[in-house]
Structure formats: C-alpha cells, structure tokens
Structure 1
Amino acid sequence: MANTPQAKKRIRRNARRAEINGARVSRIRTQVKKVELALDAGDKDAAQAALKQVQPELARGVAKGVMHRNTAARKFSRLTKRVSALA
C-alpha cells in the first residue's frame, strides 16, 4: 500500500490515465474493424471512407503514446493495401 502522498496521487493518476488510454485503444480497434468489415463485404466506398477515419485515430494513438509508431504504420499500410486491391 502506498504511504506517501505522492505515491497515493500517482495511483489515482495512473488509474485515470489507464481508463482514458483503454478507451482510446478501444476506439482505434473499432475503427480498424469497420474497415475490415467493409473489406469483407466487398464495399470499396465504405472501406475507403472508414480508412480515412482510421488514419487520424492511429496517428492520435501514436501521439498520445498508447501505440508504437511502427505498429500504427504497419496497420495503416496493410489496410491501405487491402482497400486498394479491392477492385
């Protein structure tokens, strides 16, 4: 158990940040799933629209530190390749 006021504050802050970061990661995953669902349905217009929403979410995740930049780049690259291959 934390004894110092600083340690107690750190526990409160970490819990608050974990909740925010968890929500952010969840939002990114949801956006990625929307692109994948559109790809599975073969709907190129919906996939492109969803891809445009994914890119800023991934970039925001990297900027906020909840996702590694290479991971975000890889996800976006693979999704872009799949959307462009959908003819």
Structure 2
Amino acid sequence: MANSPQAKKRAKQAEKRRNHNASLRSMVRTYIKNVIKAIDAKDLEQAKTAYIAAVPVIDRMADKGIIDKNKAARHKSRLNAHIKAMAEAA
C-alpha cells in the first residue's frame, strides 16, 4: 500500500486512468462487435455504415495508445476484407 502522500496520489491517478482506459477499450470492442454483427447478419449496408463508424474510433484509440497500432490495423483490415467478400458475393 502507498505510504507517502506522493505514492497515494500516484495510486489514485493510476486507478482513475485504468478505469478511463478500460472504458475506452470497451467502446472500441463495441464498435467492432457492431460491424461483426452486421457481417454475420449478411447485411451489407449496415456492415458498411458500422465499419465507417468504427474506423475513426479504432484509429483514435490507437493514437492514444489504448490499443496497439498494429492491432488497430489488423482489425480494420480483417473487417474490411469480410465486407469486400460480402459485396463480391452479392
């Protein structure tokens, strides 16, 4: 446990940041899930709009360091590949 006033403050700040970052990570996952749901439902238009909404959020979280930039690129690439495959099949 933190003993000095400085350590107590740092522990409080770390907990506050951890909660905030967890909230942001959860938001990114929700946007990704929305795209996946639309893809699973084979709804091309809904998938495209969900993807367009998700991309800036994914990029923003990568810029902030909430998720790694390679993870962000991987998610965008895979989601886009699914949407393109749906469009070709239709």
TM range (shorter): over 0.9
**Residues of 2 paired with 1:33 and 1:68: CA distance?**
18
Q: Deviations over 1:7-44 (max 9, x none)?
A: 11111101111111001000000110100000011101
Q: CA offset at residue 64 of structure 1? A: 1.4
RMSD: 0.7
Q: Classify the secondary structure of the residue corresponding to 1:18.
A: helix
Q: CA offset at residue 53 of structure 1? A: 1.0
Which residue in the other structure is 2:46 paired with?
46
Q: Classify the secondary structure of the residue corresponding to 2:67.
A: coil
Residue 64 of structure 1 aligns to which amino acid in structure 2?
A: K
- TM-score, length of structure 1 as denominator length: 0.96
Q: Classify the secondary structure of the residue corresponding to 1:77.
A: helix
**Residues of 2 paired with 1:65 and 1:34: CA distance?**
22
Q: Report % sequence identity.
A: 40
Q: Classify the secondary structure of the residue corresponding to 2:2.
A: coil
Residue 6 of structure 1 aligns to which amino acid in structure 2?
A: Q
Which residue in the other structure is 2:78 paired with?
78
Runs in 1 of length 4+ with deviation above 6 angstroms? Answer: none
Q: Which runs of 5+ in 1 are unaligned?
A: none
- TM-score, length of structure 2 as denominator length: 0.93
1:35 maps to 2:35: yes
Which residue in the other structure is 2:14 paired with?
14
Q: Which runs of 5+ in 2 are unaligned?
A: none
